[in-house]
Amino acid sequence: MNLFDGIGESGHEQLLVYADPKTGLKALIAIHDTTLGPACGGTRIWPYNSEDDAIKDVLQLSRAMTYKSAISELSLGGGKAVIIADPSLHKNEALLRSFGRFVDTLKGRYLTTADVGTTSEDLACIRQESEYVVGLPANFGGSGDTSVMTGLGVYVGMKACAESVWGSDSLKGKTVAMQGFGKVAYNTAKHLIKEEARIIATDVSDYAIDRAESLGISIVNADDIYDVECDIFSPNALGGVLNSNTIDRLTCQIVAGGANNQLVSETESEDLRNRGILYAPDYVINAGGIINVSCEVGSSYNSDRGRDKTEKIYDIVKTVIAVSKQEGITTSKAADTIAERRIESVKGIKQIYR
């Protein structure tokens, strides 16, 4: 990729690269925008096929964090870190502590937390080398597992969409097709089951399948999930699942899930809109994790405060839907517009975060 053109076009402030041969650490930190406050985002450990793939991922994910924090009314900017490694093979104390030293060089411009391949226990290890860590285990005074509040946010986002489509936010009797049944989907499902919704799920992991079946959830093959007769399709696995090959197969009226970067492009958002399917922008409804860890910044963590702020995703989704209707644009464009307006309104009084 043309690195400087890519960074310039996306509006990033910084892309930092660090290698530590002694520990095998190969890490990237991308800081997208710090208008609203220090950049915050998870550290992803993943065995990327190439360095280009890792760079593209960290740039895309950090930009999404800017928008996620902005629309969630947080005083945080967007950042992300990736470590090129297989977490099941290469993750160890030395590697994590070396990464912590890398984070510490930024002196608070970037706050890290958990993501794919990292846990709250890993964060405690990183914390030994840097104070700029959030999402720590509860016994360290942190907010613990981010998937709990992320799942809650996806659930209340579904309810806001239901109110718009069906005139009631009740999900009782509705069928939800969940693509992927990891930690976020599991926590979302617990709320859905309590409300007597019907869930059909798929996953490539035997552990995830067993966990879903333990809750009485029906299972289908991975590719069949797009064809399931359902009211809500919920992507909770990889990005890019909503594309020209899959959208035509959907039978739902709402798409709402916890996965990042669900749309290949804005074109897919238009396709959903043209089919009469309401799309809940992913970075809006999956913001519960970052909302929750934001409650650690500058104060002692309070779980009630984290839950209250996460439940406001319901109102944010309704605002996105309203702007979409008023301005005749897709919900994904409406979410971007709301986030960009907030950032621009603050730029006049605040420069790059130091």
**Residue 4 has what pLDDT?**
82
Band of pLDDT at residue 301, cut at 50, 70 and 90 = confident
Segment 267-290 shows an average pLDDT of 95
Residue-wise pLDDT for 152-209, tens only, equals 999 999 999 999 999 999 999 999 999 999 999 999 999 999 999 999 999 999 999 9
Answer yes or no: are the C-beta atoms of 274 and 280 closer than 8 Å: no
Distance of CA 244 to the CA centre of its chain: 23
Count of helix runs (H) and strand runs (E) in the chain: 14, 11
**CA 290 to centroid of chain Cα atoms:** 8
* Domains along the chain with CATH numbers: 3-140 (3.40.50.10860), 147-288+314-334 (3.40.50.720)
What is the percentage of the chain residues whose pLDDT exceeds 70? 98
Mean pLDDT of 221-240: 94
Determine the residue type at 1. Answer: M
Contact 130, 27 (CB under 8 A): no
What are the C-alpha distances in Å from 150 to residues 114, 192, 244?
Answer: 12, 14, 28
Q: What is the mean pLDDT of the chain?
A: 94
pLDDT confidence tier of residue 62, bands split at 50, 70 and 90: very high
Q: Which helix (H) or strand (E) holds 108?
A: none
Q: Is pLDDT at 352 greater than 80 in this prediction?
A: no
Q: What was the pLDDT predicted at 1?
A: 62
Q: Reply yes or no on whether the pLDDT at 348 is more than 80.
A: no
Distance (Å, whole) CA 188 – CA 272: 23
Of residues 193 and 147, which shows the higher confidence score? 193
Report the share of the chain in percent with pLDDT over 90. 84
List the catalytic residues: 80
pLDDT for position 350: 66
Cα–Cα distance, 193 to 216 (Å, whole number):
9
User: Residue 351 pLDDT more than 70?
Assistant: no
Strand partners, 232: 176, 254
Report whether 79 contacts 32 (CB < 8 A): yes
Which range, of 129-133, 137-141, 147-151, averages the lowest pLDDT? 137-141
pLDDT, tens only, 63-82: 999 999 999 999 999 999 99
Residue-wise pLDDT for 248-274, tens only, equals: 999 999 999 999 889 988 999 999 999
User: Does position 5 have pLDDT exceeding 90, yes or no?
Assistant: no
pTM of the model: 0.90
Nearest to 184 by CA among 230, 135, 237: 237
